[in-house]
Amino acid sequence: MTTPPGFIPPHGHYQELICYQKSEVIFDLTFRFCQRFLNKGDRTVDQMVQAARSGKQNIVEGSQASGTSKEMEIKLTNVARASLEELLTDYKDFLRVRDLTMWGKDSKEALYVRNLGKSSPITYETYREFCETRSSEVVANIAICLIHQTNFLLDQQIRRLEQDFLKQGGLRERMTKARLQQRRNNGQT
């Protein structure tokens, strides 16, 4: 008699997700950006830091919840995506109201930042020199590039989660399948 596989799949391991690694850089960058370029007590500081934190933390929570709830994983991944979209708008607003330039998607600067993001592992150290020595305009644009990259990855992840659910079902289907397999293995009907 063989032991049937459990019905709770491996889960967690969020540190390995590129979207998580980039979201951690976004959080670190945003925290430092707000300290350098925004006034203490400005409500925007709290909003931006919390949106960056929410993006990162919801990836963690969704990854951990994935073992028992695909629905929760999808919802939390989408919350991460929504939080980063909010943060993206804050950075765009920062540039717009100060009449600063936002880089084009295919500008040489944006392409340079994209290429930096291909390093492994992806950490704040990759961007530190640029984020701690350049102007607010440059740092905001770096953040925008990183958020676009992360949002793209989260969009792909959400689509993949949807397809995985359609193919494999959720916890209830896995539980039923495991119980039926256990009965078959024990000779029960």
In eight-state DSSP terms, residue 105 is T
| Residue 96, amino acid | R
Least confident of 17-31, 65-79, 95-109, 117-131: 65-79
pLDDT, tens digit, 9 for 90 and up, residues 124-165:
999 999 999 999 999 999 999 999 999 999 999 999 988 876
Spatial separation of the C-alpha atoms in residues 118 and 18, rounded to whole Å: 10
Cβ(188)–Cβ(60) under 8 Å? no
CA distances to 73, 132, 185 from 80, in Å? 11, 26, 42
Spatial separation of the C-alpha atoms in residues 23 and 27, rounded to whole Å: 6
Higher pLDDT, 159 or 7: 159
pLDDT band at 4 (very low <50, low <70, confident <90, very high): very low
Spatial separation of the C-alpha atoms in residues 30 and 24, rounded to whole Å: 10
pTM as predicted = 0.84
With 60 as the cut, is the pLDDT of residue 8 above it? no
Contacts of 169 (CB under 8 A, 6+ apart): none
pLDDT, tens digit, 9 for 90 and up, residues 49-101:
999 999 999 999 998 887 667 888 899 999 999 999 999 999 999 999 999 99
Cβ(92)–Cβ(144) under 8 Å? yes
- Confidence (pLDDT) at 65: 81
With 90 as the cut, is the pLDDT of residue 178 above it? no
Spatial separation of the C-alpha atoms in residues 11 and 2, rounded to whole Å: 23
By 3-state DSSP, what share of the chain in percent is helix, strand and coil, each rounded to 5? Answer: 75, 0, 25
- Confidence (pLDDT) at 57: 97
